[in-house]
Amino acid sequence: MGRITITSTLTLSFFLIILVYSASANNSIPKGLSYDFYNKTCSQLEDIVRATLVPVFTSDPTSAAALLRLMFHDCQVQGCDASILIDVSNSASLEPPELGAKKNFGIRKRESINQIKSRIEEECPGQVSCADIIVLAAREAVAISGGPRIIVPLGRRDSISASSSEAADASLPSPDFGVDDALSLFAKLGMTTREAVAIMGSHTLGVTHCLNIMDRLYRPSDARGSYMDPRFEALLKFSCPENIPFSQNISFVLNDPSAFMFDNLYYKNSLQRRGVLRIDAELPLNTRTAGIVEQFASNADDFFQEFGSAFLKLSYAGVLTGNHGIIRSMCNFVDN
């Protein structure tokens, strides 16, 4: 794996040990991306991103999970091109754009990306893409929550259009996808099995909407997917009662007790049959992933190492570089 530097940092009044990861030799950087891309055009970029997000994280601890999810949902559909930020009213298509996809329900913090973009435009007009800002914001979300600080190459450009909502729903995983589905999905991004298990560790942050676990709780189609501690099952059913009308069901459950900290508790909970989603329950039961789950549960550094590598591969998905794409002046609108 790549070089690791361990530094101490003071973040949000907590002393955290942050692991800094560079790309490994196996992480081939797409043509057009580089670690010094903005050195001459916007050298203060990362400082601006960090300074803008600190008050966001302070006022809303759920922001980290929201920004990490925003990156995944952007990169998974048509690549890391900031297409998820395009407003419905700005779409030239007659169909709703990807932001309106059912699986994008609950997407938040798009306004934080716009806020960062506005500050960057004041200092470095027309230089920095919204696609790079999304990746940097997600990187900060992980680090400020106690996870690794991942050094990411930059140089992505923005798309000129969004995917359709139908295409987005077809590209994003469903709440009931299992281990085989996950390994297949992430293999398409070049991830190894270890990296795929590590990227699932993103579930250590944030919440799961009750809508996404109703079938698992009340209409399970797979015994392995419904495998959970009876007391935990009772807690989930108490938090997500079956008789709430679909249109009014905005309830949620914490992904784990330390839902605002990026740690390896996700894997410990999975081993204890306390996984919220089907994939969380299946990971320790599948012969290809069980040993990896046990290793990550016992060694957070191993988890962080593989997560850093997986994060980079996710950030490379379908990138636009060079003369492809544009640099939007506002992230939610495509310039005419």
Residues assigned a catalytic role: 73
Q: Which residues pair with 97 in a beta bridge?
A: 164
- CA distance to 176, 213, 233, 238, per residue, from 252 (Å): 16, 10, 14, 11
Which H or E run contains 53? helix 45-59
The Cα–Cα gap between 179 and 186 comes to 11
State how far Cα 241 lies from the chain centre.
28
The tokens for 250 are 């905005």
Tokens of 178: 């299992």
Q: How far apart are CA 10 and CA 284, in angstroms?
A: 35
* Structure-token pair, residue 116: 């960062």
Q: Which residues pair with 14 in a beta bridge?
A: 11
Could you give the CA distance from residue 178 to residue 280 in angstroms, rounded to a whole number?
8
User: What are the tokens at 27?
Assistant: 């992480």
In eight-state DSSP terms, residue 207 is E
Residue partners of 304: CB distance under 8 A and separation at least 6: 19, 21, 147, 148
**Cα separation of 31 and 155, whole Å?**
9
Q: DSSP per residue over 224-273, as a string?
A: TTT---HHHHHHHHHHS-TTS-GGG---EEESSTTTTS-SSHHHHHHHTT
Question: Which among 179, 246, 189 has a CA at the least distance from the CA of 212?
Answer: 246
